[in-house]
Structure 1
């Protein structure tokens, strides 16, 4: 659709629809620019919102065979450029971290666009199995607890993400990814991702290591609000608290968010290496610790992550998660004293079946692909174009015979023109707005943000633990503006 047609359309719309149409026009501009690259095929939208969007492209070789899919992320206007530039800065530092969504080199993607009239863009790896939010919505609907061994594996992924922020690998473009480890010889960085929610956890692929042979990697994305805290102690406190919050909500995925209590501190205990009981305060919902068939060491470690006075140091946290993730199904049944009917769910076969049913093969409720899963259009029915950035699909070169143009005879009837990208973007935005309206009507109160009590507690408890009766009421902070353009909500 040309500019004059779009301009005429804008004049006929109300203010809300004008914003939506302008959003679609920006998406159209970005998609059109990248479609000029003969090595890129447009595949659809990964997400589009008020702050920016993310488009899916397939990279092809000289024989027009797809090699891999990529995400092109852009900001919607100049006021949101800063977040995208900030994300590019931190992703450069985090290049090479196995559990962080990676920026990839693409000639046409650049955040330095001064004087060009273009939108700043980033090229990111395509992570193919959707967000943690989508998985939890599917699995939580079954009203069943997640197996302990899967929880330990997810826990370990989140800890490795925290380690990546403390010791960014600063790898070269296309350098091999490396597993994040604590480096006691290097001073840690006080980086926080600063936008913690389940749609910023994306489910990746398996590999041939013991750590991800059964449960796929979990990647952290969106560093648009990444920032350096005042010191590493503060950063570790927030990052470890984030890990605990995520694990608490993942463990209680079958319970609605508004029913989870993560604001009221209460007392629990753990045993140190000498066997001495150590009491501590935690913001963990008590149902995490009292869940049926939960590994008590897993539940206690989640509670410690959400404690203002008993958080584990990063080295201890990594060691405990590695030990938990390494347990076999039989070992877990003994340690957690599992019910006989639950024990099979902790075996390799039980976890593989869960992942296959709820992640790899799961359709959306209404038959369409989930809005936050980065697959759109024909990709829903075609074989995947790639097995991920780490394992590009290599196809043999096929020699094609040249096609001769017909000289005489009847010509094929002209095909109908393809719908413009602008119209497609408008339709997608309309679907998003309709879904927002439905969710708003169903909610009696606005969605609660993470960290609403934890940060307040941290800054008020510098003089030691405070008894619950002495606590000031925890005030609900202003709603956080969820800015991730890949989060279409």
Structure 2
């Protein structure tokens, strides 16, 4: 389900339509002309990274395309101790992001926040950036305190951090000559969470509880990264996010666009049997173009990840938030009605004929609390981390002695689910229109 123009293959997201109580994304396949794809920008990126001037880089194609710009995939060859072409030579892939002409400020905003969040395991890794408007902004710096503040917030100076960084200085040099702003990040090849969501719908796959707990734990840690930025050593490998024990108050960073299309799927832990990402790969947030500071940032980020979870569980869009009905449950009202057991006159919450009978009751109750109508009833960041960590560990322990009815929670069952939902190649289709449902935004990695 891709298009091809000049050898480039990519998704084209078209329109969000509303049908009764559901939102639906419609993906159409077109033969797009030059007016739909900025071929001049594509050719510039391709020619730049394929030039003899930068022999260690190679352009590989379009990684994602959204309303606000395009991201390209570039391969970098890192020489070993013996030099280029010698023993120990390694390869890494990079995502190079360019903004559409009228959306440059969104990319500047994203670079600002990715620099702030460097060193976090569950945020896409910032590699480098360049903005050919820097000279102009530096001139503004001389004009007074307001202009200096503007320059401080928007200038895109390149990082010297050394996270997976043997070649980052060379990436910095390789951006010379490109019209900015341009952002370089790690490339995450396993797609986004929206792709997994789409496949669970298409193939009628129930997401195992252990996968749901693992996803939720990654997203909670991403919320911690936003609440406590700058705590990691920028010159070290990315570290796991923890809540400081010294009583440091959380920051006010709100992602602003936290949906499945902006949650990318990374790799497994190494060795694969250890760590939080030994069975289910790590998830990382991308696209901070709409990030901002707000007094309710932590609460908004947690509410957003809870909406992601309930849609994964239900495998459909579940209306939540103001203007949608709430249900009384265990002493409070919640927008998690969809995953609650049905109510009867004799038993307010009966488990009979419950369509989510395989859902872990602890996860159901936690999501119900997270989607409570009254924000005061929702768990805070520390409580979320504590409960999700404990539940994820308990679910893994229970899987070792899984009964027949819990067979979907075994390691083998998890591997089979991920193979189908993430790694199997999609069948080619001749259909002119394919519908993909996504709760919050465009499906496709590295979009704006």
Question: TM-score w.r.t. structure 2 length?
Answer: 0.70
The question of 1:195 aligning with 2:257 is answered yes
Aligned to 1:155: 216
CA distance in 1, matches of 2:58, 2:212: 37
Q: Distance in 1 between matches of 2:181 and 2:49?
A: 12
The corresponding residue for 2:293 is: 228
Match for residue 85 of structure 2?
63
- The 1:285/1:45 distance shift into structure 2, 3 A limit, reads farther
- 1:426-481 deviation line (CA, Å, top 9, x unaligned): xxxxxxxx97xx36xx79xxx8864xxxxxxxxxxxxxxxxxxxxxxxxxxxxx8x
SS of 1:28's equivalent? helix
Of 46, 52, 55, the residue aligned with 2:69 is 52
| Distance of 1:177 and 1:448 partners within structure 2 | 30
**In the alignment, what sits opposite 2:184?**
123
Bigger fraction of residues in strand: 2
1:182 equivalent in structure 2 = 243
Q: 1:243 to 1:121 in 2, by over 3 A?
A: same
Residue 386 of structure 2 corresponds to which residue in structure 1? 319
After TM superposition, give the deviation of residue 113 of structure 1 in Å. 3.7
**Counterpart secondary structure, 1:189:** coil
Which residue matches 1:298? 363
Which secondary structure does the structure 2 equivalent of 1:119 belong to?
Answer: coil
Q: 1:350 and 2:413 equivalent?
A: yes
Whether 1:261 aligns to 2:319 is yes
Question: What's the CA shift for 1:202?
Answer: 0.9
Residue matched to 1:20: 36
**Aligned mates of 2:91, 2:66 — CA distance in 1:** 28
Q: Distance in 1 between matches of 2:45 and 2:109?
A: 20
Going from structure 1 to structure 2, the CA distance change for 1:157 and 1:80 (only over 3 Å counts) comes to same
Q: Which residue of 1 aligns with 2:109?
A: 86
Q: How far apart are 1:342 and its partner, in Å?
A: 3.2
Match of 2:207 among 127, 139, 146: 146
Residues 49 and 32 of structure 1: CA distance in aligned 2, closer, same or farther (over 3 Å): farther
- Using the TM superposition, give the Cα deviation of residue 54 of structure 1 relative to its aligned residue in structure 2, in angstroms: 0.7
Write the deviation string for residues 358-412 of structure 1: whole angstroms up to 9, x where unpaired. 223x1113179xxxxxxxxxxxxxxxxxxxxxxxxxxxxxxxxxxxxxxxxxxxx
Task: Provide, for residues 276-320 of structure 1, a one-character-per-residue CA deviation record: whole Å limited to 9, x for no partner.
Answer: xxx111112423555111111101111111123211011111001
1:94 and 1:190 mapped to 2: Cα distance?
Answer: 13
Q: State yes or no: 1:35 paired with 2:93.
A: no
Structure (1 or 2) with the larger CA radius of gyration? 1
Matches of 2:130 and 2:233 in 1, distance apart? 17
**8 A contact 1:195–1:225 mirrored in 2:** yes
Task: Give the C-alpha shift of residue 344 in structure 1.
Answer: 1.2
**Partners of 2:268 and 2:282 within 8 A in 1:** yes
Contact 1:50–1:485 at 8 Å: present in 2 too? no
Match of 1:424 in 2: none
Deviation string, structure 1 residues 338-363 (Cα, Å, up to 9, x no partner)? 9x543111112211222233223x11
Give, in angstroms, the shift of residue 199 of structure 1.
Answer: 1.1
Uncovered stretches (5+) of structure 1, i.e. residues with no partner: 1-15, 271-278, 369-433, 451-479
Q: Residues 26, 261 of structure 1: CA spacing in aligned structure 2 closer, same or farther, 3 A cutoff?
A: same
What is the CA distance between 1:252 and its match in structure 2?
1.4
Distance 1:162 1:70 in 2: 24
Moved more, 138-147 or 128-137: 138-147
Q: Is the 8 A contact 2:122 2:285 kept in 1?
A: yes
| Alpha-carbon offset, residue 51 of structure 1 | 1.7
State how far apart, in whole Å, the 1-side matches of 2:46 and 2:34 are: 20
SS of the residue corresponding to residue 243 of structure 2 reads coil
Distance of 1:341 and 1:268 partners within structure 2: 33
Q: Write the distance in 2 (CA, Å) between the matches of 1:117 and 1:63.
A: 27
SS of the counterpart of 2:62?
Answer: strand
Tell me whether 201-210 or 187-196 shows the greater mean CA deviation: 201-210
Provide the rounded CA distance (Å) in 2 between the counterparts of 1:70 and 1:163: 25
For 1:13-44, what per-residue CA distance to the aligned partner results, in whole angstroms no more than 9, with x for missing partners? xxx956325x2212222332233321111111
Partner of 1:73 in structure 2? 97
1:247 aligned counterpart, secondary structure? helix
Q: Is the 8 A contact 2:192 2:443 kept in 1?
A: no
CA contact (8 A) 1:211 1:326 kept: no
User: Where does residue 486 of structure 1 map in the other structure?
Assistant: 446
Give, in whole Å, the separation in 2 of the partners of 1:173 and 1:330: 35
Local SS of the residue matching 1:304: helix
Q: Do the aligned partners of 2:66 and 2:447 also contact (CA within 8 Å) in 1?
A: yes
* Number of equivalent positions: 346
**Aligned equivalent of 1:413:** none
Aligned-pair Cα RMSD in Å: 2.9
Q: Distance in 1 between matches of 2:409 and 2:438?
A: 32
Contact 1:206 1:216 in 2 (8 A): yes
Contact 2:131 2:179 in 1 (8 A): no
SS in structure 2 at match of 1:175: coil
